[in-house]
């Protein structure tokens, strides 16, 4: 197989992570999800929990500041002080570029589609799903209480979108940021995995 870096952005509960894992297994290439968080934690000296939390989702302090200052003002103001999300992003960006240099792999989340937007070896994928499926999945797989599931899913979406906008100045989930956007509840998980693998094996 020709070198292929697959980046996967995904809605919470869409099954994007499982699709990434199946693609990595089927193609025999590494998957970077939690592993990426652990490497960044090791390099930065921050805890894996902090990197997990602040490296993909806007924290309350980030959201408050965006609300009062807007994206650009906040950005300019915070860069001078190397705010935590910027710090983590610097490590994530460096690591994601290193991984993409090395060999084929699957990278889940972490704005990898933006970081590697000019890398021709990449396939940038976004996975979405219908709300009822997303709710079912977070209850079954993430252990979220049924009564809290819908607000959990929506809240994660808002925080990911805000973090993405803050760091990339792009709209999260806009089709034009990706090469392939797949609705997993419509197409089915197996079909999503096949479409991605077929592209990688035949390009």
User: Which residues contact a copy of itself (rule: CB under 8 A)?
Assistant: 11, 123, 126, 128, 171, 173-176, 178-183, 186-187, 191, 195, 199, 202
Closest distance to a copy of itself from the beta carbon of 64 (Å):
25
Closest to a copy of itself by CB, 71 or 199: 199
Structural element, H or E, at residue 5: strand 5-10
Compute the half-sphere exposure of residue 48: CA atoms within 13 Å on the CB side of its CA.
8
Minimum gap (Å) between residue 173 Cβ and a copy of itself: 5
Taking the least distance from each CB to a copy of itself, the nearer of 39 and 115 is 115
- 65-78 CB burial, b ≥16 within 10 A, e <16: bbeeeeeeebbeeb
Buried b (16+ CB within 10 A) or exposed e, 126-162: bbbbeeebbbbbbbeeeebeeeebbebbeebbebbeb
Comparison of 84 and 182: residue with beta carbon closer to a copy of itself? 182
Q: Which is nearer to a copy of itself, 83 or 164 (CB)?
A: 164
Least distance in angstroms from the C-beta of 40 to a copy of itself: 27
């Amino acid at each position: 197989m020709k070198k292929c870096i697959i980046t996967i952005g995904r809605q919470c509960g869409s099954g994007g992570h499982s699709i990434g894992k199946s693609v990595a297994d089927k193609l025999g290439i590494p998957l970077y999800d939690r592993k990426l968080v652990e490497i960044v934690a090791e390099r930065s000296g921050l805890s894996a929990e902090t990197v997990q939390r602040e490296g993909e989702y806007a924290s309350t302090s980030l959201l408050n500041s965006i609300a009062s200052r807007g994206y650009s003002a906040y950005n300019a103001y915070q860069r001078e002080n190397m705010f935590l999300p910027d710090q983590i992003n610097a490590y994530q960006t460096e690591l994601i570029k290193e991984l993409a240099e090395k060999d084929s792999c699957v990278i889940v989340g972490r704005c990898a589609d933006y970081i590697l937007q000019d890398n021709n070896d990449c396939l940038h994928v976004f996975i979405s799903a219908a709300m009822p499926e997303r709710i079912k999945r977070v209850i079954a797989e993430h252990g979220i209480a049924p009564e809290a599931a819908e607000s959990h899913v929506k809240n994660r979406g808002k925080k990911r979108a805000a973090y993405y906008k803050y760091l990339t100045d792009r709209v999260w989930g806009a089709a034009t940021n990706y090469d392939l956007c797949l609705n997993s509840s419509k197409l089915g998980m197996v079909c999503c995995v096949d479409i991605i693998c077929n592209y990688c094996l035949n390009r």
